[in-house]
Structure 1
């Protein structure tokens, strides 16, 4: 287990690794999140019978952030550029434009983006992209949990 890491302000840091996916896409999907607070780890996972990769990526981040009991400093690791770019680059414009994208079309998955925005609001989050299936042990673990959840659907 990792040692407790302190954020610059002295508060304890929570690290989160998320993953989600479908096979085929769209189709049955699974998601997973691993939360690490000091030496304590918690795994979350779930599945849906008919969904998309992007919906599962968003659901993993939502579940992880909603599991936090108080405002935290968070580093959230994701292999989803859709998730990271959505939160770091696109969401401000979407909100300003009443959940319309640059083409003035409704934002896909807007109900999940709204839920993610609400779940993220109390926290200070650094969104870190990691390359999927490239040997990052925690990303691989999250992928395995998400795959197991999807496969458990039958």
Structure 2
């Protein structure tokens, strides 16, 4: 997998000048900005693979076109599906953390989706799974060129800067430490490899960008519904 950066900013120059420990802190805090186009060799060995049940609660997956306008369909610009993904985590960093993802394809699209996450959940894990699920749904519905918008610096940097080196180094960082969220990143990398082209674009969250706002709403509403169900079960 190789990456061509669309936006060569001063942030990248500063990042490259940092030491290993500082780079890890940048990774942890999402302190980088990126727009990148990712080109991968197409891999169709697992085209029929179902969504990993230990990552998603697919029994409760929701197709949520009702919160959108009556306009129907996905947004295609210059041959690329415009896809917005967002992952949310409640009680991040705690034992009782849980999360959900929102996938937004366009106003009224029947592919708009939200789903609760299974197993260990953090903010980063939720964002990776959101990108993975969005790409998988896109692929299963015939899309091969995708521009994926995410407000996660971490996801964009993983795909554009770190994944290639981590894989070559047997999923270890330059300092020998194991890469965090390896399983999720492997799934995301596989989803990217199936596509003809994936462009990943960082967008700032909560800035009124329609697709990002809807993806965020899908994830938040899903978590809220889950909390309500949990409260009913405990009363």
- CA deviation string 1:50-107 (max 9, x = no partner): 5111111011111111112246111000000000000011000110100112221111
What is the RMSD of the two structures over their aligned residues, measured on CA atoms? 2.2
Aligned length: 149
Report whether the alignment pairs 1:59 with 2:129. yes
- Tell me which residue corresponds to 1:95: 167
More helix, by proportion: 2
Q: Is the 8 A contact 1:48 1:150 kept in 2?
A: no
- Tell me which residue corresponds to 2:92: 25
Q: Is the 8 A contact 1:34 1:41 kept in 2?
A: no
The 1:131–1:116 alpha-carbon spacing in structure 2 relative to 1, beyond 3 Å, is same
Larger Rg: 2
The alignment partner of 2:105 has SS state of strand
Report whether the alignment pairs 1:44 with 2:116. no
- CA deviation string 1:92-131 (max 9, x = no partner): 0110100112221111110010010111102101100000
Alpha-carbon distance in structure 1 between the residues aligned to 2:149 and 2:77: 17
**TM superposition shift of 1:3:** 8.5
The alignment partner of 1:85 has SS state of helix
**Structure possessing the higher relative contact order (Cα contacts under 8 Å, 6 or more residues apart):** 1
- Tell me which residue corresponds to 2:182: 110
More strand, by proportion: 1
Alpha-carbon distance in structure 2 between the residues aligned to 1:4 and 1:23: 30
- Tell me which residue corresponds to 2:152: 80
Alpha-carbon distance in structure 2 between the residues aligned to 1:145 and 1:15: 17
